[in-house]
């Protein structure tokens, strides 16, 4: 049985609102001894919604941005006004921060293949929505090497995908969840997290929360993955084809994330299968109580269930 999320998350810092002009890189970060990267230079792997938004924000903040994308035409388009150059085997060593924003399996494969090209002192992060599957494979790749891998999950996005939908303010005031390796301790840990926060400052994240991979996956199964499952299942009702003229805010709110990238979400769901299955089971049990009360025309029981849900929402939101 998956363990319950702990309450030991640490709020690291608060980033000022807005997309901020970056402090000149040589002033913003301390360069580790022996590093060969260009201070403040950012490398991005995959220019989809996430990678494209990072590229736009970092470029607007004054950082040099180098990028790689499987579809070359997308990279060519991004290089018109956002990306300064192509991320190749020659330019990977020049980046202080590398952001891996592809699918889970591809993220691990890229890091394994390019590990020897990454500069001493550099920081590598991912943007994948699960952390155990990524960190359990990427931490060992980084172990013993002179650079650092830190698992990350920017809590922002839309129902759309692709570079065309990316925007510089995507992460404005959004939470960033950070999962550093256990081997990163003491002053070195503080230095790496501080440099990471500064390098990401143009993105305008609202908070940086440090946690474990297991706790992240347990919580995200409820806050994100379950919502996508429910929304995707909800629109399969036969009534979905007849809703026009009968639907308003409730329908729109509940179906927004029914539109999704099936390939990516399949990977994410299966990488977090234990926690997600537990959440789906809890939801099914709760729904069955409502169904039983309605089938039995039990007004008192139904009222109690609805009032309990309303009360729980107020408790959770602190209102």
- Cα separation of 60 and 18, whole Å? 12
Q: Could you identify the residue written with the tokens 């979400």?
A: 265
Between 138-142, 188-192, 215-219, 258-262, the lowest mean confidence (pLDDT) is in: 258-262
Cα–Cα–Cα angle for 184, 209, 269, rounded to 5 degrees: 95
**Contact at 8 Å (CB) between 271 and 129?**
no
Residue 245 confidence (pLDDT) above 90: no
Name residues whose C-beta falls within 8 Å of residue 151's C-beta, 6 or more positions apart in sequence.
Answer: 125, 126, 128, 131, 134, 135, 138, 178, 179, 180, 213, 216
> What's the mean pLDDT in 122-139?
97
CA-CA-CA-CA dihedral for 302, 306, 307, 313, to nearest 10: 160
* Backbone CA torsion sign across 61, 62, 67, 71: positive
Output the pLDDT for position 9: 44
- 246 vs 194, residue with greater confidence: 194
Check: pTM over 0.85? Answer yes or no: no
Q: Considering only CA atoms, which of 200, 260, 267 is closest in space to residue 232?
A: 260
The alpha carbon torsion through 257, 128, 203, 198 (nearest 10 deg) reads: 160
pLDDT digits (tens, 9 = 90+) for 67-88: 999 999 999 999 998 999 999 9
Tell me, what's the pLDDT at 25? 42
What confidence category does residue 36 fall into, taking pLDDT thresholds of 50, 70 and 90? confident
CATH architecture of 10-211: 3-Layer(aba) Sandwich (3.40)
- Read off the pLDDT of each residue in 39-67 and give the average, rounded to a whole number: 97
Residue 244 pLDDT grade (very low, low, confident, very high; cuts 50, 70, 90):
confident
The CATH code that applies to domain 215-317 is 1.10.3660.10
- β partners of residue 98: 43, 124
* DSSP one-letter code for 101: -
Pair 41, 85: CB distance under 8 Å:
no
Interatomic CA distance for residues 64 and 95, integer angstroms: 9
Domain range annotation of the chain: 10-211, 215-317
- Residue 319 pLDDT exceeds 80: no
Work out the burial of residue 222: count CB atoms within 10 Å of its CB; fewer than 13 is exposed, 13-18 middle, 19 or more buried: middle
Cα 251 from Cα 294, distance rounded (Å): 21
pLDDT in tens, 265-305: 999 999 999 999 999 999 999 999 999 999 999 999 999 99
Q: Kindly report, residue by residue over 3-16, the tens digit of the pLDDT.
A: 444 433 444 433 33
Give the count of alpha carbons within 13 A of 2, CB side only.
21
pLDDT band at 159; cut points 50, 70, 90: confident
Q: Which two tokens stand for residue 136?
A: 């359990």
- For the record, the structure tokens of 165 come out as 């939908």
């Amino acid at each position: 049985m998956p363990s319950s999320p702990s309450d030991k998350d640490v709020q690291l810092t608060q980033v000022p609102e807005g997309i901020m002009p970056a402090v000149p890189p040589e002033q913003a970060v301390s360069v580790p001894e022996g590093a060969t990267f260009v201070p403040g230079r950012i490398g991005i792997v995959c220019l989809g919604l996430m990678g494209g938004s990072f590229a736009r924000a970092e470029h607007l903040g004054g950082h040099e941005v180098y990028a790689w994308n499987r579809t070359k035409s997308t990279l060519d388009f991004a290089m018109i006004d956002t990306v300064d150059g192509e991320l190749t085997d020659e330019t990977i060593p020049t980046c202080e921060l590398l952001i891996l924003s592809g699918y889970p399996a591809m993220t691990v494969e890229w890091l394994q293949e390019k590990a020897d090209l990454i500069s001493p002192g550099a920081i590598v992060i991912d943007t994948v929505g699960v952390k155990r599957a990524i960190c359990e494979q990427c931490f060992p790749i980084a172990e013993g090497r002179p650079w650092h891998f830190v698992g990350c999950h920017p809590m922002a996005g839309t129902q759309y995908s692709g570079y065309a939908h990316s925007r510089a303010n995507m992460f404005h005031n959004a939470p960033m969840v950070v999962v550093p390796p256990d081997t990163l301790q003491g002053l070195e840990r503080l230095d790496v997290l501080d440099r990471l926060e500064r390098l990401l400052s143009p993105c305008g994240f609202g908070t940086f929360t440090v946690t474990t991979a297991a706790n992240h996956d347990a919580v995200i199964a409820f806050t994100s993955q379950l919502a996508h499952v429910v929304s995707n299942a909800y629109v399969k009702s036969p009534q979905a084809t007849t809703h026009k003229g009968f639907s308003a805010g409730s329908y729109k709110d509940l179906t927004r994330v029914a539109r999704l990238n099936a390939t990516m979400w399949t990977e994410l769901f299966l990488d977090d299968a234990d926690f997600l299955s537990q959440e789906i089971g809890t939801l099914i049990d709760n729904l069955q109580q409502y169904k039983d009360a309605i089938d039995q025309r039990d007004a008192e029981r139904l009222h109690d269930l609805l009032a309990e849900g309303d009360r729980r929402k107020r408790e959770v939101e602190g209102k």
